[in-house]
Amino acid sequence: MRKKIISTFALILSLSICTGLCNKIVNADTIKENTIAQVQNTKSKPQSKQSHSQMQQTKPLVTTSLNIVNNPEKFLNKKVKIQATFDKFSTLGLDYDKAMRSSENYIGILIQRDDVIDHNIPLSEMKLFMSKELAEKHIDLDTGDKIEITAKEFSTALNDPWLDIETLTVIKKAKPQSNKK
């Protein structure tokens, strides 16, 4: 039994590493395409009164959670938009002094890994935080709900991405809402 557990763990670890390497290759092309599109859009439009950095702040980069995890330094101080599967609320990473988000004011969430489809494995490398006020609006989130998050990466402590959630939208509920009487 012990050998079976160890071999299963080794298989999961090797699949995760292999998938991560494949995602780096695929996501590098996606980042390049997004960057080229942004440069072309900037060149074709007349400059407004906002600076270029202010415009980038208002329009999030559409990417994937694994892309951010694999390249945390590329997204530092940038606003991103990702679609993910909600896993659970968590206190993971709260009150860590090198990327401080106080447990008095924030709650963390975990999302599921995009690269594993036959198990529910949280993407614990990505630290996602939302204010408790925002969390109270989404208290009915269930494991498996499809969500869209707009967030800003504020730290790469421990070589992990640490993000503040600005908006969270439920795209599809995992369990249909029943009529409560």
- Does residue 54 fall inside a structural domain? no
The 8-class DSSP code of residue 144 comes to T
Please give the Cα distance from 151 to 130 (Å, whole number): 9
- Does residue 7 fall inside a structural domain? no
- Are the beta carbons of 68 and 160 closer than 8 angstroms? no
Question: Residue 156: which domain range?
Answer: 60-172
Instruction: Between 40 and 69, name the one with better pLDDT.
Output: 69
Helix (H, G, I), strand (E, B) or coil at 7: helix
pLDDT one-digit tens code per residue, 137-160: 999 999 999 999 999 999 999 999
CATH number for the domain including 157?
2.40.50.140
Non-local (6+) Cβ contacts of 72 within 8 A are 153, 156, 159, 160, 161
- Does residue 145 fall inside a structural domain? yes
- Does residue 91 fall inside a structural domain? yes
Q: What is the pLDDT of residue 108?
A: 97
- Does residue 155 fall inside a structural domain? yes
For residue 103, which of 119, 117, 92, 111 has the smallest C-alpha distance? 92
Per the structure, the count of domains in the chain is 1
- Does residue 180 fall inside a structural domain? no
Say what the pTM is.
0.67
- Does residue 51 fall inside a structural domain? no
- Does residue 66 fall inside a structural domain? yes
